[in-house]
Amino acid sequence: MKYIRIILFLLFILTSIPGYSQNNKDTPRNGEGVRAFLQRNKRTQEGHYTEFLKLNKGKFGKGNTLLKGVKYTLPPISKIKEDKTDNIKETAKAQTGKKRKNKLFGKKYEDYTIKSDRLKGACFFLSSGHGGPDCGAIGRVDGRVLHEDEYAYDITLRLARALMEEGATVHMIIQDAKDGIRDDRYLANSNRETCMGAAIPLNQVKRLKQRSDKINSLSKKSKERYKRAVFIHLDSRSKKQQLDVFFYHAEKSVEGKRLANTMRETFNDQYNKHQPSRGFTGTVTSRSLYVLNNSTPVGIFAELGNIQNTFDQRRFLEYDNRQALANWMCRGFIRDYENSKKKK
C-alpha cells in the first residue's frame, strides 16, 4: 500500500509539471486546421506552430493540412517562453475553426465555420445575373417555370459561403433580404433583389453600370491584393442544345484568361473524378461584356448551362448539384490564388 501511494504521488508530480502531460498527443476534429488545432490545445505562439511542423514531419496533407484520424504530437507548452506580443499576433492569425454568421444565407445556412485560411488575403465581389425587375432567362419543366435570377442567386450564395469557409473576404453585390440558400427543387420567383440595398434599374445599361460601380467602389476600399469580380449566369438556347459550364474573360485581361482556364481545368478534373466516362466540353473565350470591361478587379463571367435543356436543368434543379457547382468554383479560385502567389 505504501509503494502504491508513492507511485501515485510521483505521477501527480509529473503530470503537474508544465510541458509534461498525458495529452501530448491529440487527433484533429473535422475541418480543423493546424492553428485551430494548436489553439484548442493551448499552443498559441508562433514557436509552437514551427515546432509542431517539425515534430510531425511527413504526417500532413497538401499545404500542411491535418489528416483525419491521425494522432499528432504536440510541442510542450513550456518550451516557448510567454510573449504577450506574439500571442496577440497569433490570435489575429488563428481564424480557422471560428464560428461565423451571415443572415443572407438564410436560417438553415447562416451559421458557418472557417475551415482554413487558404483564401486569406483574397477578396471576391460576387454578382448573380439579373434580379429585381428582370428575371433573366426562363425555362420550363414539369409544368413549372424556372427563372435564371433565382437559380443564379442560390448558386452565388453557396459560392460565397464556400469562399468564406476558406477565409476569403466576400461581397454579395446582388442581395435578397428574404431568400437565403434554398434546397427546394423549384425556386419561387420574386423581384426583391437589390444591389446591396439599392433598387435595381430595369434599363440594362443602368443595371450593369450600377453593379460595376458598386464593385469598383468596394474594391477601392479593400486592402486585399488578390481581388476577383465574379458574374454568374444561366444561358438560354435551343432546348436540344446541351451545354457544359463555360467561362468568359475580358479581351485583354491576362489574369482573367488565366483564371478562366484554371476554372475550366478544375471542372474538367472534377468531372474526370466523379464521372470519368462523361468528359467535359466547357470552353474559355474572351468577350466584350460591359461588366468585364468596366469592373476594376480581374473578372470572370460564368455561364452554368442552358436553362432550356432537359439535361442541363438537372444541374440547377437538384440542390446538391447547385452546391457542387459552388464547391468546384471555390476550388478553382483556391488554385488560381495559389498560382498568383507563386508568380510574385
Q: Which domain holds residue 135?
A: 99-342
Please check whether residues 112 and 243 belong to one and the same domain: yes
In this predicted structure, what is the pLDDT of residue 90? 31
In this predicted structure, what is the pLDDT of residue 46? 57
Is the pLDDT at 319 greater than 80? The verdict is yes
Query: Among 69, 93, 117, which residue terminates a domain?
Result: 93
In this predicted structure, what is the pLDDT of residue 259? 98
Give the residue among 160, 184, 155, 40 at the shortest CA–CA distance from 103: 160
In this predicted structure, what is the pLDDT of residue 96? 82
Contact 135, 148 (CB under 8 A): yes
Band of the pLDDT at 3, cuts 50, 70, 90?
A: low
- CA distance linking residue 160 with residue 277, whole number of Å: 30
Give residue-wise pLDDT tens across range 25-41: 999 987 677 877 887 88
In this predicted structure, what is the pLDDT of residue 18? 39
Q: Which helix (DSSP H) or strand (DSSP E) does residue 8 occupy?
A: helix 2-16
Please check whether residues 76 and 186 belong to one and the same domain: no
φ and ψ of 24, to 5 deg: -85, 5
Please check whether residues 54 and 140 belong to one and the same domain: no
Give residue-wise pLDDT tens across range 173-205: 999 999 999 999 999 999 999 999 999 999 999
In CATH, what number is assigned to the domain containing residue 242?
3.40.630.40
Contact 46, 6 (CB under 8 A): no
C-alpha cell of 28? 484533429
Please check whether residues 88 and 130 belong to one and the same domain: no
Please check whether residues 66 and 105 belong to one and the same domain: no
Give residue-wise pLDDT tens across range 200-239: 999 999 999 999 999 999 999 999 999 999 999 999 989 8
Is the pLDDT at 136 greater than 80? The verdict is yes
Give residue-wise pLDDT tens across range 69-94: 899 999 887 644 433 333 323 333 44
Please check whether residues 129 and 74 belong to one and the same domain: no
Please check whether residues 156 and 204 belong to one and the same domain: yes
